[in-house]
Structure 1
Amino acid sequence: IKPATLSSALMALVPHDLQRKVDALAPTHFDAPSGSHVPIRYDGEWPVLAIRVQELFGLDRHPSIANGTVPLTLELLSPAHRPIQTTRDLPGFWRGSWADVRTD
């Protein structure tokens, strides 16, 4: 059985109102300020969002899930989708290391 098939089968057993709550607390995607719909990975200790740094321009708060209680680990990528930095503090990144990253 493929994981996607198993997931769909299990979710079919969950009442619709509970599915909506799960989707709100642990969304499958992040809607970036750029308009992109970027998948969130849940395969480790913390949820991870691998996203091009340019897609976060204008965002001054760190993205989170679970009503703001769980910050996403951001894998910040270059325009070529190469890893630049990992952070759980986007405002700190903008204030600090963004200047160094931008010059590279």
Structure 2
Amino acid sequence: MISLTTRAVSAIEEFISRSKNDVFGLRVKVEGLACTGLKYSLSLASHADSGDKLYSCDGLTLLVDQDSESMLKDTVMDFVDDEQGKGFKFDNPKATSNCSCSGSC
């Protein structure tokens, strides 16, 4: 399944700590193609939806829908903060190529 770097874990924990709502976990979803890569959606979730698969990753709960599950296999999620900006980066062996439009491809 998906794995998180220590930077990603720290960033997610910070987002959760700043949330004014109760957070059950992080929803990770593959929404299709963007430019020439996969497009990912991340959101803080207050509950699991029916059909969600729950994964424990470094003390965090990840919620993944059935359609996204197979596309996230062996993916590594990182958080980068460099001269190009900051955000989550996905290293997914299922992505055929990367685009230069954003870090979410």
- Which protein is bigger by CA-based radius of gyration? 1
Instruction: Give the TM-score band, short-chain normalised.
Output: under 0.3
Higher helix share: 1
TM-score (norm 1): 0.24
TM-score w.r.t. length of structure 2: 0.24
Bigger strand share:
2
